[in-house]
Structure formats: structure tokens, C-alpha cells
Amino acid sequence: MAVARTIVGMSGGVDSSVAALRLRDAGEPIAGLFMSNWADDGSGECRAEDDRRDAVAVCGRLGIPIHFRDFSGEYWAGVFEHFVAEYAVGRTPNPDVLCNREIKFKHFLDAARELGAERIATGHYARVAHAHDRWRLLRAVDRSKDQTYFLHQLGQPQLASTLVPLGELPKADVRQIAAAAGLPTAAKKDSTGICFIGERDFRDFLGRYLPAREGEILTPAGERVGRHPGVFFYTLGQREGLQIGGVRGRPAAPWYVVGKDVASNVLYVEQGTDNPWLMSTRLLTGAAHWIAGAPPAAVFECTAQTRYRQNDEPCRVQVREDGRLAVAFARPQRAVTPGQSLVLYAGDECLGGAVIDATDAPLDSLPDAA
């Protein structure tokens, strides 16, 4: 059997199935690889075995070999431990960004090369192009499915070794292609949320790793309006799960999380989806990653996203000597959350990004000089 030139990451979903189909039909020598990234914890919520069966079925339908690798140890050390540590200090991490950097475009790429392949392919909605002696990560044509936000930590070596066959396709076309080819994943529901939590209750899951401690829910003015089961269960802008009843002297309007004090175990809330306590115009990040290997300038203007599926927001970026970014937005931003990723764009090109450390929201900790 000829060695596959490209190894396709087979997740058991429709996107990776069609990515493999398109490469096979284009005459590319391919094989599939199914990654196990989370060990079964006995909860009954892990769907990895179902996904594995679907991946095997798809590869059988396509007539291509499939390989298997267990990266659960690497995932625990490279992704999950960071996830828990961030929640423990009151931040809200994004494990998908780390999973792409540490697992899919590191350990998976290494495994593909060990199998004799030159490159990998995935079902991500993004485009990779080469121009002016460098590789560029571009938004997918289907902007509603674009996943460059989660891929912004990739660099030149990863992009040079990656194919993304779905970058030019609308999601509706992907399902039609799968159905026409008789792929068993054609109508399979897309996975949502954090992969290792699945459909289970987030609070119950996180409580297995972080000791919950009840505390007070206060307004920024110090008014007590309820109690919470653990401050790190909540994120900025959150409305659900607060269980705040009627408060004397207050209208019957929704409450939102506007701040957290982990040391004091206090959750701060206020009414109004766009109340001033949730708004910020400046932020500071950790050291940035640049897809090109370096920033475009020490100071420049571009657009940015502070969360997935957000519209592009104009901003001014200053790159500090230590690699951190000081960013000022053209207009106030809602619920910018430390621990999440700031991702920068120039048109359709993803420039890179960094983890948000602090903002100038009233209850955050951005220094005045930042």
C-alpha cells in the first residue's frame, strides 16, 4: 500500500468527512487519523466512541485507511491543566485555541510525519494561502462558520504543512456534498461547547476539579442581592444561572455578571445588558503570537475580535517591548473577558493574537498607564 502524502484528521463529523472526500476525489493520496483527546471519565457523557465508529465508517466508505492515536495525556498536560488553573484565578480560558496549538497542529502533525506523510488536512473553516514568501491564514468564505479565531496561534511551519479543503465552501454545501456521496455523517449534528464537558452541566463538571465555596452576590454599590455556589462558575456578561429574585427598589429586569473577586469570593452583578460596568475601550494582553513571525509594526490599526462570532471591531494596537499588546478600541466593547483571546485581522487575513489580561472596565484591573 502506498504511503499517504496527506493525513486527514477524522473527527467523526461531517466537516472532516467532506474534507477527506474532496481530497480523495482530487487524487490526493490520503489516509485518516482519529485522535482520542479525552480519557473516558465514567460519566457516560463522552461521545468519543460514537465519533470513532463514525470516522471508521466514513473512511470505509471512502476506501482509505485509518489510523488511531491517543493524545489524552498530552491534552491533559497541554490543555486541561491550563483550563482548570485559569478558572481557579477567575479567568475564562478558551480550550479550543490551546487544543489547536498543542494537539491538532503539534502532536497530530508529528504523528502524520511519523506515518510518512508530508502534511495534514482538517475540516476547519479557514483558508491558507502563500504570497510574498510567507504563509497567510485567511477567513473562510462562509463567515458564519469561520474558525480562524481558534487558529490564530498557528505559525509558518504549521500553515506550510496544512490543507483546509472546506475554506471556500458554505456549510450548506458541505452537508449536500456529504449526502450526495452517501457519507454516514451527512446529517450528524455539529458538536458544540467544550469537547470534554459534552452535554453535562458545566457547574457539576468544573466542581469536580475546583472546590466550590458559596459567597455573596453584590451590586457594585455593595447591595446584597443573592448568593452564588462558586465565583469561578461565572463569566462576565453572563445572565443565566444567577437565580436573583425580585429586589426591592429595582425593576423586574435581567441581571448580568459585571465582575468577580476570587479572593473575597464575591460575584458582582448589575441590571442592563449594556450597563456601564460591562463596557471597556482599552485592554492589555499577554505576549502576542504573530502568524507571520513578527507584528506588522510597533503601532498599527486593524480590526479585532475579543470572542468568537463577534463582528470585527476597529482598534489601535501598540506592541510593547515585552511582546504584550495595549489595545484601544474605536468604540466601547461589551464584556471583554480576561482569559479569552484577542484575535487581530487585516481584512480577511488573521495576523495573530494574544490572551486578554485586563481591561479598563470599572471593576477590572487595567493600570492607568496601560
- Active-site positions read 99, 195
Cβ-Cβ contacts under 8 Å for 333 (sequence gap 6 or more): 279, 280, 281, 306, 313
12 within 8 A of 60, measured Cβ to Cβ: no
Question: What one-letter code names the amino acid at 51?
Answer: D
Exposure of 343 in the CB half-sphere (CA atoms within 13 A):
28
The length of the chain is: 370
291 within 8 A of 253, measured Cβ to Cβ: no
Provide the phi-psi class of 358: left if phi over 0, else alpha when psi is between -120 and 50, else beta.
Answer: beta
137 within 8 A of 128, measured Cβ to Cβ: yes
Distance CA 184, CA 31 (A): 18
Return the bridge partners of 9, or none. 33
What single-letter DSSP state applies at residue 23? Answer: H
Please give the grid coordinates belonging to residue 261. 473577586
